[in-house]
Structure 1
């Protein structure tokens, strides 16, 4: 398996037909890749009605899904033919994002070891307010 190279997709949706990302969750979220390097990735996702709770605020489970997906994508880029599986996710829901808003999901690599990868991330609303923070641990397996 070749390492994922997402740099050419900056400014494009990760669900683009030519994108190497073929995850149905990513396709459903439809994140726009803003920027990526070896240790940081930033995406923008529009909060749709089906992502919200009854009072039209981004649902906590969707916050966890966004963080898990984007952190996992970054963990799987730049590797040496490995795939990473999430072993744990922790999310703190702090602020609000409303239906129709675009949120920024920012992923950071904390540490890549031999078999474990530690990631952290945050979600910010259009005003820059903190919506959620999260961290995940992933287990690397050879493909």
Structure 2
């Protein structure tokens, strides 16, 4: 079976392993993701935890985790190359373990259901060095005209 692709997926694949700007989104560029994998309905990005991403305890801030998740989920829906934009209507995040300054984490998304007006996406954030799940999330994104 041939893998489904489009120009956005091919562009993301060309960035695999490179550091740099992946997006016109200032927030995504602030997060500084490195593309690891790109397939139709699934992306994997890697992030290095920087000081400005941490809370006073030195752990990755929960709001930054939610931001990473929301951002990569949006990129996943964008990569489906829909004619209309989609926006997040809900985001549910479960936090399981901390990450600290200098840690490298990976976020992987998966489109669960691709409807005409609503797309459901899941995301997991892993700390690969310790094979530990940091967070898991689910979101619905809605088409706007």
Decide: shared fold, TM above 0.5: yes
Please list every run of 5 or more consecutive structure 1 residues that lacks an aligned counterpart in the other structure.
none
1:96 corresponds to which residue?
98
2:17 corresponds to which residue?
11
Hey, what's the Cα distance between the residues in 1 that align with 2:122 and 2:93?
10
Please list every run of 5 or more consecutive structure 2 residues that lacks an aligned counterpart in the other structure.
1-5
Per-residue Cα deviation, 1:73-112 (whole angstroms, up to 9, x for no partner):
0111122322211111111111111110010011111111
1:28 corresponds to which residue?
30
Q: Give every structure 1 segment of 4 or more consecutive aligned residues whose post-TM-superposition deviation is greater than 4 Å.
A: none
- Work out whether 1:131 is the aligned partner of 2:134: yes
2:111 to 92, 99, 109: 109
Aligned residues: 137
Q: Which structure features the higher share of helix residues?
A: 2
**1:10–1:138 CA distance, 2 compared to 1 (3 A):** same
Hey, what's the Cα distance between the residues in 2 that align with 1:61 and 1:49?
14
1:76 to 75, 78, 83: 78
Following superposition, the deviation at residue 28 of structure 1 comes to: 0.3
Hey, what's the Cα distance between the residues in 1 that align with 2:64 and 2:82?
30
Hey, what's the Cα distance between the residues in 1 that align with 2:95 and 2:101?
16
TM-score (normalizing by structure 2)? 0.87
